[in-house]
Amino acid sequence: MSAPNAFNRRFTIGWISPLPLEQEAARLVFDEVYLDQEVRHENAYYLGGRIGEHQVVVGVQRKIGLNGAATLAGYMHSGFPNIRYFLVVGIAGGVPAYGPAGDAQQIVLGDVAISSPRGHHGGVVQYDKGAWVDDGRLHYRGHTNGIPGDLLAAVNKFRSKGWSQTNIAPTLQQMRSRLDDEQRSQYDDPGEICDQLFKDDYKHRGDHRVDCKDRCDATQTLSRSQRGDRARRVCDQPRVHFGNVASSNQLQISAIERNRIRDEHDVICFEMEAAGVFEEYPSVVVRGICDYADSHKNKGWQNYAAATAAACAKQLLSCLPPIVISEVTATLNDFSISFSLQGIPATEYFVSRKLEMHRLTEFFATPALQKQQQRVFVVYGMGGMGKTQLCAEFAKTNAERFSAVFWLDGSSKDALQRSMASAGTRSGNRTQEAIAKTDVAQLGNDFRQWLSLPGNTDWLIVIDNIDREWQGSTTDDQAYDYHEFLPHANHGNVLITTRLMRLHRPNASLHLGIADDQLAKKILETRADKVVPNVDQLLPRLGGLPLALAQAGAYLRTRGMCVSDYLEHYDGTWAELMRKQDRLPLQEYGQRSVLTTWTISYEQVKRTDPLATWLLDLWTFLYHGDVWVELVLAEQSDKAEARSDVSLAFGPVTKLSLQDSIGTLVQYSMVNMSTADRAPSIHPVVHAWCLHSLDRSTAQQLRAAALRLVASMAESLGQGVGRDLGLRLAAHAKVIGARVAMPRSNEEQHARDCHQVAYFLNDWEKSQEVENLYKWALRGFENAWGAEHTSTLDTVNNLGLLYADQGKMAEAEKMYVRALRGYEKAWGAEHTSTLDTVNNLGLLYADQGKLAEAEEIQGKMAEAEEMYLRALRGYEKLSWVSPARIKFVKQSLSSLRERPSRSHNEQSSESIPRNGDNYAILSATPLNTGVAESPKALSKLMRKMWKRS
């Protein structure tokens, strides 16, 4: 391994020949050719020499395509560090006609195309880069860099000469003069007779290796004369066309597709290398036309087209002033490598996180006394938080601080080794030939040795996505210890992104958390490219997750959707919405999306700690803001041990083992630990992802397990639970109540659990979730025991109470009447359950009378009075009924009889309490003290008690 030698530093123009025949054409235009032994880097030889006043070095690709071209350009730039511009010179498939109808320009075989900005493009169009959209078309995103100013000036100067003044013909003659007779004929103009343009709808007949003259119908062709005056040519006088060059990794062999791409992107020819070079280096493309980019191939034009391209490139260089290299540049900075975007994600839509960026910038400041130590900084956090984006923007905006910047893919051991080997090509370690003979691991070692060379102290390597845990009993053969891949020298700079909290370093780490509302709004609206009305309604759902915000913004922009419609899809069809967003990939996030970004971490957790995975899946059906260990243990009593899902799956589970598993989830950033109260929680978008990543059978089992846990906890807490603990459990119960689903088996247990959770949650709110739970319980009891079972009737009664609290009077009356008839049939007219329902019907009728029109009031009052009197007579016959209950009914009856004489505002429906059967609570109330309790206070107390557990 060595730095570029002094001889190599003389070359200022890099010439890329995709094929060997194109290099041979290039050799013929040199004014002076240097010895092969002089023009080499490591073990590879290049064609070097002088064209006019320019020092030019030519390389041939080992593989065709964009990647092959980009790789060759990287090698050449490392071995010949003073290359300022690249010329991509060779053959291409031409567009027969381009320009406006009626004034179209004609391209014929042997003509030359030069890349030049046209329309919205900078001269090269990578037309196969983009995203597939709903109509089956590729949404183009293949923008490349434009031609730099002084090189473009040379193109424009050459263009201004006109095709007849380009000296291409004399150059072609000079090229042939250097060859013997046999070789010379290969570079002769084949002429009009060999120029066959087949009609667009006539495809090649037979195998593509069979020449057209043997199989295709010549009557289906258009001659140059048939194409008009603009298609006529004089021998050795090709015309030069300027415009956008279409570039991709795919060979273009369809006339129909050729015309479509021409119309869509305003291109003049097709090739397979330019975009790979344009993406990284200032370049211009010069292509000789050897076919018409259709299914008909004619190899007889390839040598001549290569010669016209080379001749044209030589004349183009004559319009470019010579590049002067200072002696200082040629002898210093041997370890400096020009900044390249190779591998670095796009940051076009990056929204600055100023504090975090300042932290990175401050850490990597380079005072002299700090140069003799290797500095490693770790950015960690949950997937989708923007770690990669932050570091990519830092690398781009601070590239001048470092002698070289290398972006490495740390997602797996193989990926890291490959990217280190690729980075090594930029450092000039090995040539193409040497690389072909060396395994990837050795190339990585060579790269680390180069980083360790004395004096090479100011480089930066960024290792992105170290997300695989290698410690412990992992079976992941792609996990690794990143320390083993760092250079051993005590210098240089390393920046790491990871989800593994364990990798954080004291005073050299940054935990990247969620974006605050202001930043979140900016991220979303930047991607949406507009101010989004009602955006505050959407932000809480996305939880400050930059990836989710960016995807949502892009989707809103492309679909023209409003926030309310997006939320409707988000709540109703989350997975389908995410799949549609995936069709609009974000360049800055590579292949990751809300649907895919946590998969690797999830699989890692599944391999290393199955209990942690089960816990994460279970919490899909519980409140995401509180991962509560004690809730999982609610079933772990001696009596419940046998039916505990977690015990059956993992054996005896303790609080310690659950806390260890939560620690695993925190380690992989799947669960967050609050710095305030140390309470673990799951990000709402991860919570949604977990739900929609489960198969139906697993989801059903976990939903039932979550319900059972909450029911067990509610039963164990009973009625005397404190406010904080009650609200904590109520949050989980509310999530249970929002998941509408009935089990396929064990309906009795499911019904009991639903009733228990509803009974508990009803103490804290009168929401739709409580109603859902009671309805599921009712359906289960009806299926298991029948409509007239007392447990079914108790649920009917409680639904009536809930409906009354919700103001749904008609539904409440229907439930009370059904419960009353059932109790009368089961227990008789004077049973307390019957009488309690009679009392509540009285209250309901009183409420209805209060709300009815004046002429209807007396009828409702009479019904209410009749119910109260019936309840009172029944209670007085039962010796064991407490005085408090009898006093409660009398007070209700008195309030009812006084109502007509009071104004509407003096007495609300709350002033008549609903009865209950909780004698323990009644006996402890002021009702037994002889002190009159206010109707409103009594109402609140009795309403809370009147439920049937």
DSSP 8-class letter at 118: B
* Residue 177: predicted pLDDT: 93
Determine the pLDDT at residue 903. Answer: 29
The residue-averaged pLDDT of 883-910 equals: 49
Residue 820 has a pLDDT of 80
Question: Is a pLDDT exceeding 70 seen at residue 643?
Answer: no
Each residue's pLDDT tens digit, 619-631? 888 888 788 888 8
Closest C-alpha to 2, from 38, 58, 59, 40: 40
pLDDT tens digits along 806-816: 888 888 888 88
- How far is residue 522's CA from residue 349's CA, in Å, rounded to a whole number? 10
Q: Given pLDDT bands bounded at 50, 70 and 90, which one contains residue 749?
A: confident
pLDDT tens digits for range 836-890: 777 777 777 766 654 443 334 344 556 656 665 666 666 566 555 556 556 656 6
More confident residue, 334 or 351: 351
Output the pLDDT for position 291: 94
Helix (H, G, I), strand (E, B) or coil at 804: helix
Q: Is the CATH code 3.40.50 the one for domain 89-320?
A: yes
782 vs 863, residue with greater confidence:
782
| pLDDT band at residue 904 under the 50/70/90 scheme | very low
Sign of CA dihedral 873, 878, 879, 884: negative
User: What is the Cα–Cα distance from 758 to 762, expressed in whole angstroms?
Assistant: 6
Q: What sections of 224-377 are H helices per DSSP? A: 255-265, 274-278, 302-317, 327-331, 354-363
Q: Residue 172 — pLDDT band, cuts 50, 70, 90?
A: very high
Q: Comparing 18 with 728, which gets the higher pLDDT? A: 18
Q: Is the pLDDT of residue 496 over 90?
A: yes
**C-alpha triplet 781, 785, 790: angle, nearest 5°:** 75
d(CA 813, CA 829): 18
Q: State the pLDDT at residue 642.
A: 37
**Res 943 pLDDT > 50:** no
Structure token pair of residue 453 = 């060379």
Lowest mean pLDDT among 18-22, 107-111, 618-622, 745-749: 745-749
Looking at residue 382, its pLDDT comes to 78
Eight-class DSSP state of 60: E
Average pLDDT over residues 342-364: 81
Residue of 848, 819, 850, 812 lying closest to 836 (CA atoms):
819
The confidence score (pLDDT) of residue 857 equals 36
Higher-confidence residue: 501 or 38? 501
Closest CA to 35 of 12, 7, 75, 60: 7
- Kindly report the backbone phi and psi dihedral angles of residue 273, in degrees, each rounded to the nearest multiple of 5, phi listed first: -135, -35
Q: pLDDT value at position 107?
A: 97
More confident residue, 167 or 14: 14
Query: Following DSSP, what letter does each residue of 307-321 receive, concatenated?
Result: HHHHHHHHHHHTTSP
How confident is the model at residue 173, as a pLDDT?
A: 94
Q: In the chain, where are the structural domains located?
A: 89-320, 354-511, 517-589, 787-949
For residues 347-369, give the mean pLDDT.
Answer: 76
Q: What is the mean pLDDT of residues 279-303?
A: 90
> Measuring CA to CA, which residue among 451, 349, 347, 343 is closest to residue 402?
451
pLDDT of 835 reads 66
* Paired tokens of 711: 């029911």
Q: Are 309 and 286 in contact (CB under 8 A)?
A: yes
How confident is the model over 404-431, as pLDDT tens digits? 899 998 888 888 888 888 787 776 655 5
Count of beta carbons in the 10 Å neighbourhood of residue 368: 6
Q: Is the pLDDT of residue 929 over 80?
A: no
Domain 354-511 belongs in CATH node 3.40.50.300: yes
Burial class (CB in 10 A: 0-12, 13-18, 19+), 254: middle
What band does 913 get if pLDDT is binned at 50, 70 and 90? very low
Is pLDDT above 90 for 476?
no
pLDDT digits 0-9 by tens, 580-618: 655 555 454 454 555 555 665 677 778 888 888 888 888
Q: Are 585 and 131 contacting, i.e. CB atoms less than 8 angstroms apart? A: yes
- Residue 266 Rama label (left phi>0; alpha psi -120 to 50; beta): left
Average pLDDT of the segment spanning 154-179: 87
Percent share of the chain, pLDDT over 70: 73
The reply to whether 354-511 and 787-949 are identical in fold is no
The pLDDT, as a whole number, for residue 145 is 66
Please tell me the predicted confidence (pLDDT) of residue 896: 55
Average pLDDT, whole number, for the chain? 77
Instruction: Tell me the fold of 787-949.
Output: 1.25.40
Q: What is the pLDDT of residue 150?
A: 85
Residue 83 Cα to chain centre, angstroms: 38
Give pLDDT, residue 847: 67
Q: What is the mean pLDDT of residues 662-690?
A: 72
- Could you tell me the pLDDT band of residue 90, with boundaries at 50, 70 and 90? very high
Residue 279 to residues 14, 460, 674, 801, Cα–Cα distance (Å): 15, 21, 43, 70
Distance CA 881, CA 877 (A): 9
Neighbours of 647 (CB within 10 A): 15
938, pLDDT greater than 50: no
Q: Stretch 438-449: mean pLDDT, rounded? A: 77
On the question of pLDDT at 940 being above 50, the answer is no
Residue 92: what are its φ and ψ, rounded to 5°?
Answer: -160, 170
What integer is the mean pLDDT of 460-487?
81
Distance spanning both ends of the chain, measured CA to CA: 82
Closest of 463, 461, 419, 460 to residue 440, by C-alpha? 419
Residue 384 in this model has a pLDDT that exceeds 90: no
Closest by alpha carbon to 587, among 333, 449, 389, 420?
389
In the predicted structure, residue 371 carries a pLDDT above the cut 90:
no
Angle, CA 301 vertex, CA 298 and CA 305 arms, to 5°: 135
Confidence category of residue 330, pLDDT binned at 50, 70, 90: very low
466 CB neighbour count, 10 Å cutoff: 25
CA angle 590, 592, 596 (to 5 degrees): 160
Amino acid 135: pLDDT: 59
Pick the range with the lowest mean pLDDT from 480-484, 705-709, 923-927: 923-927
Cα gap 59→45, rounded to integer Å: 9
> Which pLDDT score is estimated for 717?
82
For the ranges 245-249, 333-337, 810-814, 822-826, the one whose mean pLDDT is highest: 245-249
